[in-house]
Amino acid sequence: MPDEVATEDDRQLLARAQDGDMSAFEALVESHQDKVYGLALRMTRSEADAAEITQDTFLSAYQHLKDFRGDAAFGSWVHRIAANHALMRLRHRRVTQAAEAELQGPEFTPRGTLADYPVSDWSRDAEEKALDAELGHAIRQAADRLPEGYREVFLLKDVDGLSYEQIAEVTGDSIPAIKSRLHRARLALREAIDAFYNRDNRGP
């Protein structure tokens, strides 16, 4: 019952906010900012990032307020906006970390010799790297062919590293349904990988 009352209050506040009543929008922000912040904090595990995502979420909501038709509850709408901002922040963080890791080249002693031999084999030839690139392309193509719901779950779990609970909060789906879609998505990608490695064994 309290949720129904809150939703009805949200509808009234939303209608007023869409008519330009700033106090009504501020009331919506006050009602939902804690949940938005909590979602962002769970996804990013950073209080600073969560605070910025919360601000960006309500700024985006305000900018697109007149476009919101009420197909879903206001709370669900801002949760999805927050999840998208959090995912963008996580992807940016991973790209930045990867770039920083690449810049960390081998260290040399004052005599010009390698301080530590790299754990990985730096002698891999261009043919092996090209094979990796082809495999990555094949996996991306297979992921693109997945139905939207399957692709979304695969990206959230296996690419962005979210937990099942976090994915459930973002998508609104049950954890069993998410696990089922993820299993089928992984099977489809495994078939694509098997097909890639078996391609040379097939006839022309």
pLDDT along the chain (204 residues), means of 10: 59 91 94 91 87 95 88 84 85 69 54 50 53 72 79 78 81 88 88 74 50
Separation between Cα atoms, residue 133 and residue 204, nearest integer Å:
23
Bridge partners (DSSP) of residue 60 are none
What integer pLDDT is reported at residue 138 of this predicted model? Answer: 75
C-alpha 133 chain-centroid distance? 23
Q: Fill in the amino acid letter for 192.
A: A
Could you tell me if 128 and 157 are in contact, meaning their C-beta atoms sit under 8 angstroms apart?
Answer: no
- The reported pTM is 0.55
Q: Any alpha helices (H) in 64-174, and if so which ranges?
A: 74-103, 126-145, 148-154, 164-171
**pLDDT of 130:** 61
Give the pLDDT of residue 161.
74
The pLDDT value given to residue 53: 94
pLDDT at 58: 95
Q: Which domains does the chain have, with CATH numbers?
A: 8-105 (1.10.1740.10), 123-203 (1.10.10.10)
pLDDT number for residue 29: 95
Give pLDDT, residue 149: 77
The pLDDT, as a whole number, for residue 50 is: 92
- Residue-level pLDDT at 37: 93
Greatest alpha-carbon pair distance for the chain in Å reads 75
